[in-house]
Structure 1
Amino acid sequence: MHYKLLTPGPLTTSDTVKQSMLKDWCTWDEEYKTLVEDIRSKLLMINNLSNEKYTVTLMQGSGTYGVESTIISSVGENDHLLVLKNGAYGERIHQIASIAKKNVSALSFSETAILDSDVLDQYLTQNPEVTHVAFVHCETTTGILNPLESLCEVVKRHNKTLIVDAMSSLGGIPIAIDELKIDFIISSSNKCLQGVPGFSFIISSKESIMKCKGNSTSLSLDLYDQWVNMESDPGKWRFTSPTHVVRAFYQAILELINEGGITARYNRYLNNQKLLVKGLGTLGFECCIDVTIQSPIITTFLFPENKTFTFQSLYDYLKGYGFVIYPGKLSNLNVFRIGNIGDINSNDIELLIMVLNNYKTKILKE
């Protein structure tokens, strides 16, 4: 049996999602195009959004492609983007905008602290030239869940365009997109919706995406042109789409709906995460961040104070028993990360804890 991915994506998929990729598809075929349109409709439906006000654009490539597409297409020549960052993925948004030569500034926070809406409020008051604000909802550098509601309230009170990187949260955490007035929210096929890697998707208000015309500094990542093409020729991407991935994603959405929707999935992830923290806590592994700002997606643990411990020894031991975890990504702390999203349940987490207990007993020596 292949190992299970305890990572924030790619992640472990169901057997039925895997099996759905065994058939080949033609991108021009009406059956395939209907499938694409159904995906776009269902993404709105599961997020309680109206197709009169919101739309979905699918974009080839990983989640970062979707983020880059949104940034370079929504921020115009005379606009100014503010990026909030408290980890590697917020930093990546800043890098994308800088390389694209967009007008951009940043507010930086500690990697182990949430984004501060009061600081944001003060900054926007003092810097009226800002037109767009972008931040990461679940910063998987640590597993922090940034305060989406308060941040969105500040951004919209200042009448700015709001861009949310919800790569590791959309589909796994309920998000009131319409109520929060989010202009663009981005995720990908291989995260909480439990598909496989290959494309990203952007949910946007129609009013906001229509303002993107002519802004993109890339041909293939032009969000506006991709959307116009999908609207004028339903189900057709501008360039070759990852057909097998699309079919797997369709199956994954059906399985999300059958599970009970986003709230039911959130509850499963939350239960997994609580079991994980409790179990590792009994073995002496401490969490990096406070429980009050911890997401149910991925948890960062500090290295134990043990001279024989190395991440590689832990990784190799767990892989030998069928689990793969993530290395740390913090700049000044020795940590490792364990995700609990995907086709993972409480039995998997309990087995992991047993294996970790064996690792501590057999491998770690004071």
Structure 2
Amino acid sequence: MVLMNPGPVITDDRVRAALAGPDMCHREPEFSDLLTRVRHKTTLAAGGDERHTSVVLTGSGTAAVEAAVSSAVPRDGALLVVDNGHYGERFQHIADAHGIRTHRLELGWATPVDPAAVERALAADPGLTHVAVVHHETSSGMLNDVAAVARIAHAHGREVVVDAVSSIGAEHIGLAEDGIDWLAGSANKCLEGAPGLGFVSAARTAFEGLAGAPRRSYYLDLHRHYTAQEKAQAPAFTPGIPAFYAFDEALDLALAEGREARHARYSALAGRLRDGLEALGLEILLPPGQRAASLTAVRIPAGIGYRELHRGLRAEGFVIYSAQEQLAADFFRLSTMGRMTQADIDRFLAALARTLPARA
């Protein structure tokens, strides 16, 4: 089955084999070594340098995002939420759950981020200490200019929290290069690991500075995890050890391939897919300059519903993905993350061509 959903993705055989690693006690030196390796490689993948480090959590990418927001925003702080899709809106829900004051900059789904609007919002409210923005907004497939948002935030003396869950590993983003203060990611999307691990990458001084921060969460307290992982080289709680084995292998593959090469591989697959979709007369939601390399939102053609389309393509060996909320009635999504091949794309387009006339 070819997974065209945006995570979990098709993984390399070596990643899947790593899941069957030996049983291990997480309080023994073997796991300390594994944890330290994974943290170091994660920081490299996040574009960090000697100033940066990472905390790896057993949990989804959303766990990492929630850990970053609930830990980084101080007790008297507030969050500017840049919202142009489902995952921007999720920042708002996370802040609400933890009683963090927000200003929500609602731009509209599939609407590019307006840097001038971000600047105006920060200038109007000095109490906003942090800016939250999604890099790859997978509800639409839009790639947001987080580097521009970070520059504006820093010009106003604010920090930026970036949801890079669906971008890190394949898109141009880096802690040092882009001046990102807090970067939340996941093992199982463009880094091509197995599901079950999220991470937060930041400057060491930023993690150290959380010592006096409010403890809004027990399990997702970043300072608790940082102290355990950095000082004791041990997890704060029982980790998903098989997922660590797989992530260790996936990070080796990602770093060996390199971000530029992976971006080029994903872009080539997406280009082949998009050309084929347009040749079939299908409409793509976003114009080319706004699209991420790893996901395409496509209008559902007249005369067929999503369930019927999903069922027909699944019978052909392909899993597609519905759009969310306000886009769900009219669009579906196709990911080109993971170990997909050009042959997979060609077979998918042929299957789609067979499916549409038979049912539309």
User: TM-score normalised to the size of structure 2?
Assistant: 0.96
Equivalent residue number for residue 124 of structure 2: 126
| AA in 2 matched with 1:58 | V
Decide which of 203, 206, 209 is 1:205's aligned counterpart: 203
- Structure-to-structure mapping, 1:222-237, within 5 angstroms: 222-234=221-233, 236-237=234-235
Unaligned runs of 5+ in 1: none
Question: What residue in structure 2 maps to residue 117 of structure 1?
Answer: 115
Work out whether residues 268 and 345 of structure 1, in 8 Å CA contact, stay in contact via their aligned partners in 2: no
Choose which of 318, 339, 342 in structure 1 pairs with 2:313. Answer: 318
| Equivalence map 1:142-291=2 (5 Å) | 142-213=140-211, 214-234=213-233, 236-258=234-256, 260-291=257-288
* Cα distance, 1:256–1:242 mapped onto 2, change above 3 Å: same
Percentage of identical aligned residues: 29
- Residue identity matched to 2:198: S
Corresponding position of 2:300 = 303
The 8 Å contact of residues 182 and 201 in structure 2, kept in 1 or not, is answered as yes
How far apart are the structure 2 equivalents of 1:285 and 1:312? 17
Q: Which moved more, 1:168-177 or 1:182-191?
A: 168-177
Superposed CA RMSD in Å reads 1.3
User: Residue deviations 1:171-227, cap 9 Å, x none?
Assistant: 111213213221100101111110111110111012222222232311111001100
Structure-2 separation of matches of 1:269 and 1:330: 26
Taking the aligned partners of 1:275 and 1:26, their CA distance within structure 2 comes to 46
Q: Which residue of 1 aligns with 2:333?
A: 337
Measure the CA separation in 1 of the matches of 2:343 and 2:196. Answer: 29
Residue 347 of structure 2 is aligned to residue 354 of structure 1 = no
Tell me, yes or no, if the aligned pair for 1:74 and 1:216 is still in contact at 8 Å.
no
**Structure 2 letter corresponding to 1:62:** S
Deviates more, 1:18-27 or 1:277-286: 18-27
After superposing the two structures, state which structure 1 stretch, 208-217 or 64-73, moved more.
Answer: 208-217
Q: Provide the residue aligned with 2:359 in structure 1.
A: 363
Q: Please say if residues 300 and 328 of structure 1, whose CA atoms lie closer than 8 Å, have aligned partners that are also in contact.
A: yes
Q: Which moved more, 1:238-247 or 1:109-118?
A: 109-118
Give the stretch that moved more between structures: 355-364 or 243-252: 355-364
CA contact 1:216–1:223 (8 Å) conserved in 2: no
Moved more, 325-334 or 236-245: 325-334
CA contact (8 A) 2:48 2:174 kept: no
Deviations 1:306-337, CA, capped at 9 Å, x for gaps: 22x01111111111121101101141551000
How far apart, CA to CA, are the structure 2 residues paired with 1:353 and 1:98?
A: 42
1:69 aligns with 2:64: no
Q: Which residue of 2 aligns with 1:29?
A: 28
Moved over 6 A (4+): none
Count matched residues: 357
Distance in 1, matches of 2:320 and 2:24, equals 33
TM (norm. structure 1) is 0.95
* SS of residue paired to 1:195: coil
Gaps of 5+ in 2: none
The question of 1:99 aligning with 2:97 is answered yes
* Cα displacement string for residues 60-82 of structure 1 (whole angstroms, at most 9, x for unaligned residues): 21111111111111111111111
Give the drift of 1:48.
4.2
